[in-house]
A = this chain, B = another copy of it.
């Protein structure tokens, strides 16, 4: 719940940077209330709002950090009379203050402090994912607070948070590394647990057990499926069969709340078929080409297009597509098989700062494409040192796409369905790593997880 003492200086720096960017304008940043699952006392595991976590490193419910134009103060609920019985001791205000480097006061003093701060200028805030805290903020500030909506005074705050969180400082990078370290054994355990006849859920259980046993939480709902062609498939009830590929998109969350996001695809039998291996190599080549393109100054959309071009070359070589690779990309043929973006920002959120819409992902003046397959690209900035991104090309045979004449019309006979049909033992392949942009180029944070076809096979066979 408390930040590590080693993070104190970074937390102070982050709040100082933000204060400077705000230029004396007051702001309040809220953590979150516990979210009820069935009823008030039956809750989902508590997760503080990412902006609050970034500034205070504190996973405490119902906290609010206030910048009054001069200094930061953290307001926390007073302990209730029965808290010690039901929830145990929580750190006192003095300890929280020491760890966060921020004065702490009782939340009961918050309304007065906010009223004082609001006298001169409108108080900025960022909506939290939970509506209850939004309602608290709305009541405190006498204004609307809703996820996805910013008032004019919030825009400089949002822009300042984006500017801060875009480039990860040393403490954030260390957290990203810890998330990646926790994710490696999960993928290895998933590969080892894979065998024909068991449920997808059995592999998921083996992967999650590696998180839970380390007191790590999944950063997002895991995808563990033999139907990788359903991109966000959250069902786990299929039996693994010989000849299936299993796609696992599973990442852990560091103690400080930073995400890892990794996908591997492996054969249930432990051996790729010839056709599976051919397509796997196409995706892997595209992934390596994209990763190789990651360095400061490169536009992320060009990394996305590099993957499409590499994929076009591979698909032409296999005879699935016909024509000039560059044209095939421009005409959207690769998007029929690779319909999502090459990746996204990674940080405290698995799609970092997606709560602010495209403000984080798209540089000012850039807009999402309207084209199928490119409109899902969540990031289009020039890369800078300290940014973390995912690189996650995939190849899928999606009936809803390949059967949609409006989408496939432009393909004509450049999409060779007879050849594609030979690859019917592939429904979906995705290979995803987390990549940190460095001054020199990049560092793959998730390099320890097998991805060469033969390494993946060996990892699966290690469970036999």
Residues of A at the B interface (CB closer than 8 Å) are 35-45, 47, 49-50, 84-88, 129-132, 135, 147-148, 199, 201-202, 204-206, 208-215, 220-221, 227, 230-237, 339, 348-351, 354-355, 398-401
Determine the residue in chain B with the shortest Cβ distance to A193.
B213
Determine the residue in chain B with the shortest Cβ distance to A49.
B38
Q: Determine the distance from Cα of A35 to Cα of B398 in the docked complex, in whole angstroms.
A: 28
Complex interface: chain B residues within 8 A of A349 (CB): 38-39, 42
**A231 near B85 (CB under 8 angstroms)?**
yes
30 A-B pairs within 8 Å (CB atoms) are namely A37-B47, A37-B220, A38-B47, A38-B349, A38-B350, A39-B129, A39-B147, A39-B355, A40-B354, A40-B355, A44-B44, A85-B230, A85-B339, A87-B230, A87-B234, A88-B230, A130-B131, A131-B131, A131-B132, A199-B213, A201-B212, A201-B215, A205-B210, A205-B211, A205-B212, A205-B213, A208-B212, A209-B209, A209-B212, A215-B236
Given contacts A42-B349, A201-B214, contact A36 B398 (CB under 8 A): no
**Most chain B Cβ neighbours within 10 Å, of A39, A40, A41, A204:** A39
Complex interface: chain B residues within 8 A of A212 (CB): 201, 204-205, 208-209, 236
Complex interface: chain B residues within 8 A of A88 (CB): 227, 230, 233, 235
A97 CB → nearest B CB, Å: 22
**B40 near A147 (CB under 8 angstroms)?**
yes
Complex interface: chain B residues within 8 A of A227 (CB): 88
**A354 near B131 (CB under 8 angstroms)?**
no
Q: Determine the distance from Cα of A317 to Cα of B3 in the docked complex, in whole angstroms.
A: 48
CB-contact partner of A131 in B45, B47, B135, B148, under 8 A: B135
Q: Determine the distance from Cα of A208 to Cα of B208 in the docked complex, in whole angstroms.
A: 9
A168 CB → nearest B CB, Å: 17
**A354 near B42 (CB under 8 angstroms)?**
yes
**B232 near A87 (CB under 8 angstroms)?**
yes
Determine the residue in chain B with the shortest Cβ distance to A355.
B39
Given contacts A205-B209, A205-B212, A208-B208, contact A85 B401 (CB under 8 A): yes
**B220 near A201 (CB under 8 angstroms)?**
no
Q: Determine the distance from Cα of A86 to Cα of B202 in the docked complex, in whole angstroms.
A: 23
A226 CB → nearest B CB, Å: 12
Given contacts A85-B401, A201-B213, contact A35 B41 (CB under 8 A): no
Q: Determine the distance from Cα of A355 to Cα of B37 in the docked complex, in whole angstroms.
A: 11
Q: Determine the distance from Cα of A221 to Cα of B36 in the docked complex, in whole angstroms.
A: 11
Interchain residue pairs A-B with the least CB separation, the first 7: A205-B213, A88-B230, A84-B400, A205-B212, A131-B131, A39-B355, A36-B129
Q: Determine the distance from Cα of A212 to Cα of B212 in the docked complex, in whole angstroms.
A: 12
A135 CB → nearest B CB, Å: 7
Complex interface: chain B residues within 8 A of A234 (CB): 45, 87
Q: Determine the distance from Cα of A236 to Cα of B204 in the docked complex, in whole angstroms.
A: 21
**B355 near A43 (CB under 8 angstroms)?**
no
A195 CB → nearest B CB, Å: 13
Q: Determine the distance from Cα of A147 to Cα of B348 in the docked complex, in whole angstroms.
A: 30
Complex interface: chain B residues within 8 A of A130 (CB): 36, 131
A62 CB → nearest B CB, Å: 15
A133 CB → nearest B CB, Å: 10
CB-contact partner of A37 in B40, B129, B210, B233, under 8 A: B129
Q: Determine the distance from Cα of A400 to Cα of B90 in the docked complex, in whole angstroms.
A: 13
Complex interface: chain B residues within 8 A of A35 (CB): 35, 44
